[in-house]
Amino acid sequence: MSLASRTRLAALLAALTAAAGVAGVTTWAHGHAAAPAPAAAQAPQRPSVTQGTVVQFVAHPDDDLFFMNPDLSRSISTGVKVTTVYLTAGESDGRNEAHSPHLQDPARPADHAAYAEARQNGIRAAYAEMATGRRTSAWQRTSVPTTGGGSAEVDVLLARPEVNLVWMQMREARSISGDNPDSLRGLWDGKVPALGSQLASGTPVTTPFTYTRDQAVQAIANVLALYRPTTIRTQDPTPGRTRPAGAPADHQDHIYGARFVQAATERYAATTAAGPRPHFSVQNYVSYPNSSLPPTLDAKAAEEKLGYLKTYAWSDHQDWCGSPAGCGDRKTATRPTGAGWNQTIRYSRGESTTWLTQGPPGHLYAFAALDGQMAYWTRPRPDTPWQGPRFLPPTAPGTTIDAGASTARLPDGRIAVLATRTTLATTTPHDYRRETVYALQNAPGAGFGPWHTLGTPDTGDLSATSAIGTPTATTDPAGRITVYLRDSRRTLAAATQTAPGAGFGPWQSLGGTALQGDPATATDSAGRRHLYAATDRTVLAWTQPAPGAPLAGPFPTGLPATTGVLSATPEGDGVRLSFRTPGTGTVTTTRATATTAAPLLSPPATTGGEGGYGAVATTGHLLAGRAATGTAAITLPTPDTHTNTNTNTNTNTGTNTGTGTGTGPVWHESQMLYTGAPAAVTTPDGTNLAATLGLDADLHTTTPTPTPGPAGPAPTPWHRAVPPTALAQAARHPSTWHH
CA distance 732 to 37: 18
What is the Rg, in whole angstroms, of the alpha carbon atoms belonging to the chain?
A: 25
Asked if the model's pLDDT at residue 640 lies above 80, the reply is no
Indicate whether 182 and 322 sit together in one domain.
yes
**Window from 101-115, 527-541, 663-677 with minimum mean pLDDT:** 663-677
Mean pLDDT computed over 31-58: 68
For position 426, what pLDDT does the model report? 65
Judge if 278 and 405 occupy the same domain.
no
Cα separation of 721 and 703, whole Å?
11
Among 343, 375, 392, identify where a domain stops: 343
Is residue 511, in this structure, part of any structural domain at all? yes
pLDDT over 90 percentage in the chain: 77
Neighbours of 715 (CB within 10 A): 17
Residues 330 and 389 in one domain: no
Look at residue 700 and tell me whether its pLDDT is greater than 60: yes
Q: Does 225 lie in the same domain as 200?
A: yes
- Residue of 625 and 246 predicted with greater confidence: 625
Q: Please indicate whether residue 302 or residue 24 has the higher confidence score (pLDDT).
A: 302
Q: In terms of domains, do 254 and 112 share one?
A: yes
- Confidence (pLDDT) at 246: 81
Q: List the strands of the sheet with 139-145, edge to edge.
A: 139-145, 151-157, 163-170, 81-88, 53-58, 231-235, 281-285
> Which pLDDT does position 716 carry in this prediction?
81
The reply to whether 265 and 232 lie within a common domain is yes
> How does pLDDT run across 334-352, given as a tens digit for each residue?
999 999 999 999 999 999 9
Whether residues 121 and 250 fall in one domain: yes
Angle made by CA atoms 336, 348, 537, in degrees to the nearest 5: 75
Q: Which pLDDT value is given to residue 707?
A: 53
pLDDT top residue among 661 and 102 = 102
Q: pLDDT at residue 310 above 80? A: yes
Question: What would the pLDDT profile of 163-187 be if each residue is shown by its tens digit?
Answer: 999 999 999 999 999 999 999 999 9
pTM for this one? 0.91
- Domain end: 343, 372, 396, which one? 343
**pLDDT exceeds 60 at position 588:** yes
User: Domain span at residue 306?
Assistant: 48-343
Residues 285 and 379 in one domain: no
- 672 in the same domain as 732: yes
Residue 663 pLDDT: 54
Q: What is the pLDDT of residues 344-374, one digit of tens each?
A: 999 999 999 999 999 998 899 999 999 999 9
Q: Cα–Cα–Cα angle for 638, 644, 645, nearest 5°?
A: 150
The whole-number pLDDT of residue 706 equals 55
452-476 pLDDT, tens digit each: 999 999 876 555 558 899 999 999 9
Domains in the chain, number:
2
For residue 74, is pLDDT > 50? Answer: yes
Do residues 588 and 604 lie in contact, with contact meaning Cβ atoms separated by under 8 Å? yes
- Does residue 702 have a pLDDT over 90? yes
- pLDDT by residue (tens digit) across 129-144? 999 999 999 999 999 9
* pLDDT score recorded for residue 666: 81
pLDDT tens per residue across span 220-260: 999 999 999 999 999 999 998 887 778 889 999 999 999 99
pLDDT score of 655 more than 80: no
- CB-count exposure of residue 271 (10 Å: 0-12, 13-18, 19+): exposed
